[in-house]
Amino acid sequence: MNEVTISSAILDAIDELEQTFLDAKVTFESDGQGGAWVRIDPVSLGPAYQEERSWIAFQITYPYPEADVYPLFIRPDLHRRDGAAHGIAFQNVTWGPHGEPGTQLSRRSNRLNPAVDTAATKVLKVLRWLETE
pLDDT, tens digit, for every residue of 79-101? Answer: 999 999 998 899 999 999 999 99
Q: Which residue has the higher pLDDT, 108 or 119?
A: 119
Q: Is residue 99 part of a domain?
A: yes
pLDDT score, position 26: 99
pLDDT score, position 97: 94
Q: Is residue 86 part of a domain?
A: yes
pLDDT band at 1 (very low <50, low <70, confident <90, very high): very low
Report the alpha-carbon distance of residue 122 to residue 98 in Å, rounded. Answer: 23
Q: Which residues pair with 80 in a beta bridge?
A: 49
Question: Has residue 133 got a pLDDT over 80?
Answer: no
Query: What is the pTM for the complete model shown?
Result: 0.93
SS3 content of the chain, % helix, strand, coil (to 5): 20, 30, 50
| Mean pLDDT on 49-65 | 97
Determine the residue type at 25. K
Q: Is residue 78 part of a domain?
A: yes
Q: Is residue 30 part of a domain?
A: yes
Q: Domain containing 45: what range?
A: 8-132
Q: HSE on the CB side for 55, CA within 13 Å?
A: 16
Number of domains the chain is built from: 1
Phi, psi of 73 (to 5 degrees): -130, 145
